[in-house]
Structure 1
Amino acid sequence: MKKTVVALRTIPALLIPLGMSMGMGQAQAAGFNLLEQNASGLGNAYAGSAAIGDNASTIYFNPAGMTLLPETNFSAGFNAIKPTFKFTDKGSTDPLALTGGASRPATGGSGGDAGKVAAVPNIYLSHQLSPKWWVGLGIGVPFGLTTEYDEGWVGRYHSEKFAIETINVNPSVAYKVNDQLSFGVGVNWLHIDADYRLATPVGYHPALGPLDMSTRVKMKGDAWGWNAGLLYQITPSTRLGVSYRSQIKVTADGDTKLRNRNIPAGIPAPNINWDAEATIKLPDTAIVSLVHDLNSRWQLLADVSWTGWSSIPRLTIENSGPGAKDSGLELKFKDAWRVAFGANYHYNEQWTFKGGVAWDQSPVRDKNYRPTALPDSDRYWVSLGAQYRPSKNATWDIGYTHLFLKNTDMNNNTDVGARGLTRGTYKNSGDILGVQFSYRF
């Protein structure tokens, strides 16, 4: 049996970097952050996000925008997001730990569609204290979503399921210096909950094939950050918005559990439980936006944003317990840019129609560092939306976006010994539908 099965004591060395559980759910902004913090901006591809200030959701994009909202304003909504990730194998190989150092084609299927539907809710409230001061509170989901492959696919040693949930609570204050200039600041409390599942190779049986353990990591953590912005009315028809959201350094803890998947009776396969901890610096973001009223009917919007993804060059998990070893994953994320343009057409007092396009750059450096839990690439947004005012104080928004992504190459060979080579092509796309209700009291 020693010739056909790798001893279970090798499991710690074969564990893939479970630190990836800290933030690799596929989101519909490039990387794993979520722009979908309202539905009113979805129809414009979020162009002008830091300058528009037309409802209380400005608290997230630029808290200075509250100074455009008299009295008390409420806004709530959600976005339903459906990504599609379909993998075609083009030469994946099993881990070298299973093959004695030889290259052997990977066993398993294509994984099906790894993209899953997710709902991203949000709620905001702003209140004018005086002619100069505003306060507000925003609650949303800035990072998340899920990828899930069919069990036993060729890339199972990299990832089978990743699910991440976050919640961000963002109290804010804004000050109006004069009719041209306003400032806003906020603090952010972020909670993260991650669930990551994969297969861990144990050995190879000549009759049964690869023998695997099922590995699951569950972690939770929270941390604090801040955001700030300014709003400047350049002319009566043109407004500039600038905003910044800080890095958030999260330390999460939980456990790592290994359980027998297909190891037959007679071969020892004990359950393994470790304590786990990981730290990650979620990226900072800066936005510069313009809104220009071309005339009484047409409004033009533009946006340039930057995200500091280089804060995540590597993810590391620290395991503690009998036989535990730390693991790591080289990601080498690069900083990324996003450019968006949009327009609003005010048809009448009740109806406004929206449109927008955007180019969104991925932080993934190249195919060799593209994780199976995040088969990400640059994407193009094409967005449409409408706003309906049933009364003077009430507003309904609906928006739709389709994301165009070119076929994405995968050649993840960052640890062929423990995980094997996952090589192939992804066919990706995405659809987002959002609805929002806003009311002024």
Structure 2
Amino acid sequence: MSQKTRFTKSALAVAVAIVSTQAWSAGFQLNEFSASGLGRAYSGEGAIADDAGNVSRNPALITMFDRPTFSGGAVFIDPKVDVTGRSVIGNDASQKNIAPTAWVPNLHFVAPINDQFGWGASMTSNFGLATEFNDGYAAGSMGGKTDLETLNLNLSGAYRLDTHWSFGLGFDAVYARAKIERYAGDLPQIIGASLPGMVRSGQLSAQQAAAIGAQAGGISRDTQIAYLKGDEWGFGWNAGILYELDKNNRYSFTYRSEVKVDFDGNYKSNLPTTLNPINAALGLGLPTGTGGSTTNGSLSLHLPEMWEVSGYNRVDPQWAIHYSLTYTSWSQFQELKATGDNGQTLFYKDESFKDAYRIALGTTYYMNDNWTFRAGIAFDDSPVPDKKRTISIPDQDRLWLSTGATYAFNKDASVDVGVSYMHGQKVKFTEGPYTFQSEGRAFLYGANFNYAF
């Protein structure tokens, strides 16, 4: 296939995605399950047991608590993500602040049963994103409005084998709600500009070009070419092992399973149905037009499994270091494909994610009975291959710088606060008939209240 042929086909293609930029971890994974963890860049989470929030990361940590303990709070995400771009016909495809602010709440409870057994429960969000482009955005076929929210309800238990080994197992029920909107942008203009060349090259007959041109001429920038909304439950499990060398040195291994969410929702496209035969015959890759009517659509979303190795070493009565290496099997997320009741493809997006890692290092300073201070640094490896980067996921490697503190009112009640600055590298890429440059950063602020009964 010639370069010109590849260009003209991509110029006529619309890639529709249900995921987007701003989960504020690699891909669209969320780490924000506690303010104390935020303050140390979530380093050593599987081995630290300073509040009930850690149990959502490693259920084996339940055995570290000697009385019922509660923790609840939220992390506020304040991102700034700008996209600059241009279409092949010269139209500006830039927009600032494409990611809205967001709150990520968390609740945790741990209760020991006896010296060997205990249980815990938590409510967190492990995956999520939001992005908003204007309805008349030039590259609206690549980026529109996207919203994915998940709620993870976890119930777990733990068993202490001896003074060194503890084991934990948990069950996850994940509720996911998703909405996507995509718009025509300047795609009709690009189609019109590419038709004469396709006729000259023999890809289209004059009659086919006239039919496509007539259809494209009636499509405005803010025409909604794809809309999908749905919500569903998915289920998974998690497990953890804790090894205590002694009271000052702990190590852990944790695993969280893949969760498959099968969405059944409503699909609509304002593209005319008369365009569908041309789309199918020429393989243009357009979403299926419904002429503005609503039909059923289904899509499977694979939330990947995760492994984590963590360590905690109290090297001095007042100092500790902690560290983590996380490996996420993002290669399980290969495509987004929505199908109708009759099996027809409504839209398709090749993602081809690769497995990714996250490495974090932090330290804690135990000043006195009232004050604890912490800091951390982390690196998030992006799962998006360079050649697969899109405006819907202009994902990038990210660096975390974090700090935080805990103030204990007494032996029962305390408050955690944390703040992180996250910086993503600048990336340049081409998608279809558009070239883009994206750069993002974010501040994250968290607070939790803890109480031991």
Question: Which of 377, 402, 405 is equivalent to 2:421?
Answer: 402
C-alpha deviation, 1:139, in angstroms? 0.7
User: 1:109 deviation in Å?
Assistant: 4.3
- Asked if the contact 2:149/2:176 (under 8 Å) is kept, the reply is yes
SS at match of 2:36: coil
1:221 aligns with 2:232: yes
Distance 1:230 1:318 in 2: 41
Aligned with 2:397 (options 378, 383, 387): 378
Residue type at the aligned position of 2:47:
A
**Aligned equivalent of 2:165:** 181
Work out which of the residue numbers 221, 243, 248 in structure 1 matches 2:254: 243
Query: 2: distance between equivalents of 1:436 and 1:125?
Result: 13
Q: Which runs of 5+ in 2 are unaligned?
A: 1-11, 193-212, 273-288
Alpha-carbon distance, 1:324 to partner: 5.7
Query: What SS does structure 2 have at the residue aligned with 1:357?
Result: strand
Give the whole-Å Cα distance in 2 for the aligned partners of 1:252 and 1:209.
Answer: 32
Secondary structure of the corresponding residue to residue 156 of structure 1: coil
Number of equivalences = 400
| Contact 2:297–2:346 (Cα < 8 Å) also in 1 | no
Residue correspondence of structure 1 range 148-167 to structure 2 within 5 A: 148-167=132-151
Contact 2:334 2:350 in 1 (8 A): yes
Q: What amino acid does structure 1 have at the position aligned with 2:147?
A: A
**What is the aligned-residue RMSD (CA, Å)?**
2.4
Could you say if the C-alpha distance between residues 372 and 92 of structure 1 is closer, same or farther in structure 2, counting changes exceeding 3 Å? Answer: same
Quote the residue 2:330 is aligned against.
Answer: 309
Tell me the residue number matched to 1:211.
220
8 Å contact 1:400–1:433 — kept in the other structure? yes
CA apart distance, 1:331? 1.1
In structure 2, give the amino acid aligned to 1:254.
G
* 2:124 aligned residue (140, 159, 168): 140
| Of 56, 59, 64, the match for 1:63 | 59
Alpha-carbon spacing, 1:83–1:378, altered in 2? closer, same or farther (3 Å): same
Paired residue for 2:110?
A: 126
Question: How many Å separate the matches in 2 of 1:325 and 1:233?
Answer: 52
Q: Return the match for 1:351 from 363, 371, 375.
A: 371
1:71 offset after TM fit, Å? 1.3
CA-to-aligned-CA distance 1:253-294 (integer Å, 9 cap, x gap): 101122489xxxxxx994232210011221000110000001
- Judge which range, 139-148 or 312-321, deviates more: 312-321
Name the SS for the 2:269 alignment partner: strand
Quote the residue 1:27 is aligned against: 23
Q: 3-state DSSP class of the match of 2:149?
A: strand
Give per-residue Cα distances to partners, 1:379-436, cap 9 Å, x unaligned: 10000101110111111100000011121112123xxxxxxx2312112111110001
Q: TM-score, length-normalised on structure 2?
A: 0.83
Contact residue 241 and residue 254 of structure 2 kept, 8 A: yes
> Which position in structure 1 is the counterpart of 2:242?
231
Aligned partner of 1:6 in structure 2 is none
* TM-score, normalisation: structure 1: 0.86
Q: Secondary structure at the match of 2:331?
A: helix
Q: Which residue of 2 aligns with 1:289?
A: 310
Please identify which structure carries the higher helix content.
2
Per-residue CA shift, 1:188-209, capped at 9, x if unaligned?
0001100111114567589989
Work out the CA distance in 2 between the residues paired with 1:236 and 1:58: 17
Write the letter of the residue equivalent to 1:432: L
SS at match of 2:447: strand
> What percentage of residue pairs aligned between the two structures are identical?
31
* Alignment check: 8 A CA contact 2:421 2:442 kept: yes
Give the Cα separation in 1 of the matches to 2:291 and 2:138.
Answer: 25
Structure 1 unaligned spans of 5+: 1-13, 94-103, 262-267, 414-420
